[in-house]
Amino acid sequence: MVGVPVPQRQNLIPIIPHDERISSDNRKANLHSMTPAQFKTIRQRVGLSQSGLARALRVEDVRTIRRYETGERAISGPVTLLMELIDAGLIPPPIH
């Protein structure tokens, strides 16, 4: 269509502090990885308990959150994306 403006893609600002970002070597190995420390830091930064975050992510068992934070369970790409969006303030965390 002529005359219809095309929305420009906005550059997203980095949401994980520089010292906590995934190195480029690790990123090549797994494009969607988030470390347990990054996961826990984001949860604490937004003021959620483990059970509160479990509710926000629609996880039935709070043990899953504990396993993410201890590294016993890999953090999936979709969960990483949700955590980054919550951290950036693009998705509001639930009210406790």
Question: In this predicted model, what pLDDT tens digit does every residue of 5-64 receive, in sequence order?
Answer: 554 545 444 555 544 544 444 444 455 589 999 999 999 999 999 999 999 899 999 999
Q: How far is CA 26 from the centre of its chain?
A: 17
**Does any domain span residue 19?**
no
pLDDT at residue 3 in the model: 59
pLDDT at residue 5 in the model: 57
pLDDT at residue 67 in the model: 97
pLDDT at residue 33 in the model: 81
CATH number reported for the structural domain that contains residue 37 in this entry: 1.10.260.40
pTM, full prediction: 0.65
Q: Which residue has the tokens 């016993």?
A: 72
Q: Give the DSSP letter of residue 17.
A: -
Q: What is the mean pLDDT of residues 72-77?
A: 94
**Does any domain span residue 54?**
yes
* Torsion 73-66-16-57 (CA) sign: positive
**Does any domain span residue 46?**
yes
How many domains, in total, are found in the chain? Answer: 1
Q: What domain range includes position 78? A: 32-88
**Does any domain span residue 53?**
yes
